[in-house]
Structure 1
Amino acid sequence: MQDKNPIIKLYGAKGCHKTRFYKEFLEARGLPFSFLDVIENENYAEELRSLYESGKLNFPTITIGTKKLRNPRTDELNKWINKLIPSILEIQHDKENHQFVLDINGEKAKVEYQLKNDKMYLVHSEVPVQLRGRGIGKVLVEKTFEKLTEEGYKAVAVCSYVRAVASRSDKWKSIIEH
């Protein structure tokens, strides 16, 4: 699921304490990123200047795909990482409400199911409107498949979207019926 993640770049300087903080932050999250030292490499400096109308060397700056964050607070950086790279999030199995939930900054994407004869019938999937079009649905469904497999369930894809995701990969044939 990591293959479609946006590219992360950290523009900064080796000697800058804020740059070091962001480097450690991204490494701790296990996120692949490029560190571009704008003091030691003029090409990186020019690339950074081109991101700003002023043409100034505003660092540290982090880009996640096309999203540009200039010296972001930790909560803001986390918010954008969660929104733009949902594959790093943990899926939760809410057994009481018969659903698998991916919490993206308080917004809940979910796959609902019904249990019958020791099988999960995956009946509905939903991604909040404001998060659609970012591949979150596919991540949600694949993480659901992984979690139910981990928990020892077999499933039947009733929801058309869940069925479509299941049919795109032989990986799920042994646990997901169509």
Structure 2
Amino acid sequence: MDLDIRHDRSAQRFETRVDGALCVLDYRLAGGSMTITHTGVPPAVEGRGVAAALTRAAMESARAEGLKVVPACSYAAAWLRRHPEFADLRA
């Protein structure tokens, strides 16, 4: 699935729309860390890899900006465990 993921820095959010449904990953920045607080995908569009794509976008952004990541959201924590190539980002 080709998603148009937008990084809204002022809202501290990554977002995309799938079939009209807003899908989000919210985070907080503090002290050189990105704390992922919430990943939300509406039930109508679950199971399509949207949350994974949002999480990957956040991790790639954190890496590019030299940030560490605190996966406070349970989905982000599980995703990070399944992707050891991003383990170096864990705060």
2:65 aligns with 151
Distance 1:176 1:102 in 2: 24
Query: How do 1:12-161 residues align onto structure 2 when only pairs under 5 Å count?
Result: 85=1, 88-161=2-75
RMSD of Structure 2 on Structure 1 (CA): 1.6
Q: Decide whether aligned partners of structure 1 residues 123 and 147 sit closer, same or farther in structure 2, where only a CA change above 3 A counts.
A: same
Say which one has the larger Rg: 1
Distance 1:89 1:152 in 2: 24
Gaps of 5+ in 1: 1-84
Runs of 4 or more above 3 Å deviation: none
| Equivalent position amino acid for 1:167 in 2 | R
Q: CA deviation at 1:147?
A: 2.4
Q: CA deviation at 1:150?
A: 2.3
Q: CA deviation at 1:105?
A: 4.3
Q: CA deviation at 1:164?
A: 0.1
Distance 1:168 1:151 in 2: 22
Q: CA deviation at 1:175?
A: 1.0
| Equivalent position amino acid for 1:153 in 2 | L
Contact (CA 8 Å) 2:26, 2:36: kept in 1 or not? yes
Determine which structure has greater relative contact order: mean sequence separation of CA pairs < 8 Å that are 6+ residues apart, divided by chain length: 2
Asked whether 1:167 is paired with 2:76, we answer no
Asked whether 1:176 is paired with 2:90, we answer yes
TM-score by length of 1: 0.47
Distance 2:19 2:51 in 1: 16
Structure with greater strand percent: 2
Percent identity (aligned)? 29
Distance 2:19 2:67 in 1: 28
TM-score by length of 2: 0.85
Q: How many residues align?
A: 91
Distance 2:68 2:17 in 1: 24
Q: Deviations 1:50-97 (Å, cap 9, x if unpaired)?
A: xxxxxxxxxxxxxxxxxxxxxxxxxxxxxxxxxxx1xx2232211111
Contact (CA 8 Å) 1:91, 1:147: kept in 2 or not? no
Q: CA deviation at 1:130?
A: 0.8
Distance 1:92 1:137 in 2: 13
